[in-house]
Amino acid sequence: MINFNYETAFSLNNEEQLSEWILGVISEEKYQLEEVNYIFCDDAYLHKLNVEFLNHDTLTDIISFDYSVGKRIQGDIFISIERVADNAKDFNVTLQDELQRVMVHGVLHYCGYKDKTDKDAKLMREKENHYLSQLA
């Protein structure tokens, strides 16, 4: 089950399409969906989580808490709509495109992909682009 939760004045207008897409990503990666909760929030909300749980006093666009066991995906993905909007402007893409990239990025972490090294980040970006092309 994929759930969408809103802690700010924002809402998706295509939840069903995005749910099917994310489920397809998980399936193609040979994982099974238990439950993924997307929580859309503002910078202040996500900053508080970043300080409290990760000891990082910085703004970020996404924080994911992975509760997966083996190949069964479960977790909470917090996304700051403010950060995503700013990043979309910086990268000269639409808010929708950047939001979808961040959404799939979180799920790909649950599927074992990392992005701390240049090599890992390159593979992550390739995977993001692959799955984003399926949504278009």
**Known binding site: residues?**
105, 109, 115
8 A C-beta contact, residue 5 and residue 37:
yes
Residues annotated in the binding site for Zn(2+), as ranges? 105, 109, 115
Strand residue runs (E) in the chain: 2-6, 32-41, 62-66, 72-80
Rounded (5°) CA angle 34-73-46: 105
Cα distances from 17 to residues 33, 76, 100, 112, in angstroms, run 16, 19, 11, 24
Secondary structure (3-state) at 74: strand
